[in-house]
Amino acid sequence: MTELSRRNTIGLGLAGAAVASTRLKAQTPAEVKIAMLVPLSGPWARQGILEQMGARLAVEDVNAAGGIKSMGGARLKLVEYDAGDSSEKAKDAAQRMVAQEPDLVGGFGCWLSSFTLAATEVTERAELPWLTLSYSDLITSRGFRHIFQSSPTADRQAEEELPMIMELAQKASGRKPAKVAFVGDNTASSVSFMKAMRGHVVQQQGLTIVADEVYTPPLTDATTMVQHVRSGRPDFVVLQSTNVPDDKLLADKFAEFNMRSDRLPKIGGGGHWAVPELLKNAGAENLEGIMVGLANWPGKNQAELEKRFMAKTGEPWFGHDSIFAYVHVMILKEALERTGAADRRKVSDAIHALDMTDGPALFFPDGHLKYDEAGRRVGAKLCVVQWRDGRPVAVYPPSIATRDVLWPKV
């Protein structure tokens, strides 16, 4: 080899190394974007704000711990979009999100199932992996590849809630309820939930439906519905509203008719029934004893995280919406660590491959993180909290329960 050839070879080698270095830098960006799309305005805004608080804390925790280590310490960046107060606005926001942020690797949110159904039509076309706490069975019944539902579905919750309530009632009061009343709105999650409950679940439990009230949110007056419930003389009431203002109206109206939960047990559905905003609006007395069936609640393992959350946000507790947002950020972080690349398709594949009993899995009461082919979290179970002395406390399952359930003896 001549001196000139040797120099050319070295030069080509150095140039190749420079190109490889440039490509490596391009593949390991300084920051990686994930999205949050939740209602930050309208009647469901409080739930979206609680998700926002949990998500922001999670992103801070990831970045404070060194970012995405498999990507050279790349920092997570949260981009936030408002789903608004309708399915149409949620879908529009999703379209803006995927158009304005082409380098997103994943996201989470939408909260209300109707919003999630609309927005994920957009995210699925964009092949953007999407995590949600929304309950409707339809979300993961469409054959989508990139949707991941961390909650038990509404159908599953309907299957579990009545047997669980019957068991808790029998244990606490010594008698088995025989009559039930239903009050709920007509959003996607509620419709899915109540369809199964009205059908075979009621028959299996030997219950008689003595009132069945359905309304379109937002609720303006609950008087007639509550009167119908009172006339039916149920042993307990299932309340399937989906926002804090409606919850407050229902709690107030039952109290006005002398049907607080020390006389007539009530079971609300969803995390909105256990937020501080409801306490401010409805008051501890009207909420006392109301039980809430929901998809997740912080257990004993999250005591330290709860303290940090409360100190940072000024919130009086760390609940359903905030813990879901926190763990969804951590799931996306775990997927990024495994892929080592800001590639949404690889992130989606990594989420499908998760099968964990540590890390983010510990933020679920069952302690397991795995999604099936449809995108439903395997083993997801219903939780119950009960309002006691101005605070929701876990009463079921035993893995997170801190108090026994209260149920009227007569």
At 267, is the pLDDT very low, low, confident or very high (cuts 50, 70, 90)?
Answer: very high
At 10, is the pLDDT very low, low, confident or very high (cuts 50, 70, 90)?
Answer: very low
Is the pLDDT at 145 greater than 70? The verdict is: yes
Q: Of 20-34, 192-206, 342-356, which gets the smallest average pLDDT? A: 20-34
Secondary element (H or E) of residue 409: none
DSSP single-letter state for residue 274: G
DSSP single-letter state for residue 385: E
Is the pLDDT at 193 greater than 90? The verdict is: no
**SS3 for 71?**
helix
Name the residue among 292, 246, 295 with its Cα closest to residue 273.
292
Tell me, letter by letter, the H, E, C secondary structure of 155-198. Answer: HHHHHHHHHHHHHHHHHHHCCCCCEEEEEEECCHHHHHHHHHHH
215-to-221, 222, 365 alpha-carbon distances in Å:
10, 9, 32
The set of residues, in sequence order, having a beta carbon less than 8 Å from that of 291 and lying 6+ positions away, is 165, 261, 265, 266, 267, 268, 384, 385, 386, 387, 395, 405
Sort 23 into a burial class: Cβ within 10 Å, 0-12 / 13-18 / 19+. Answer: exposed
What is the token pair recorded at 404? 């026994």
Say what the pLDDT of residue 24 is: 42
At 27, is the pLDDT very low, low, confident or very high (cuts 50, 70, 90)?
Answer: low
Cis peptide leading into residue 298 (ω within 30°): no
Q: Which CATH architecture has domain 155-294+383-396?
A: 3-Layer(aba) Sandwich (3.40)
Q: Would you list the domain boundaries of the chain? A: 27-152+299-363, 155-294+383-396
Mean residue pLDDT across the chain: 91
Percent of the chain whose pLDDT exceeds 70: 93
One CATH from 3.40.50.2300, 3.40.190.10, 3.40.140.10, 3.30.830.10 for 27-152+299-363: 3.40.50.2300
**Strand duo 107-109 + 31-38: pairing:** parallel
86-139 pLDDT, tens per residue? 999 999 999 999 999 999 999 999 999 999 999 999 999 999 999 999 989 999
Q: At what angle do helices 45-64 and 303-313 cross, to 10 degrees?
A: 110
At 28, is the pLDDT very low, low, confident or very high (cuts 50, 70, 90)?
Answer: low
pLDDT higher for 387 or 29? Answer: 387
| DSSP codes joined into one string, 91-149 | HHHHHHHHHH-TT---EEE--SHHHHHHHHHHHHHTT--EEE----GGGGSS--SSEEE
219-238 pLDDT, tens per residue? 999 999 999 999 999 999 99
- Which whole number is the average pLDDT over 369-380? 97
Say what the pLDDT of residue 410 is: 62
Say what the pLDDT of residue 303 is: 87
Say what the pLDDT of residue 94 is: 98
At 271, is the pLDDT very low, low, confident or very high (cuts 50, 70, 90)?
Answer: confident
302-350 pLDDT, tens per residue? 889 999 999 999 999 999 999 999 999 999 999 999 999 999 999 999 9
**SS3 for 369?**
strand
The set of residues, in sequence order, having a beta carbon less than 8 Å from that of 243 and lying 6+ positions away, is 43, 44, 47, 217, 218, 272
Is the pLDDT at 146 greater than 90? The verdict is: yes
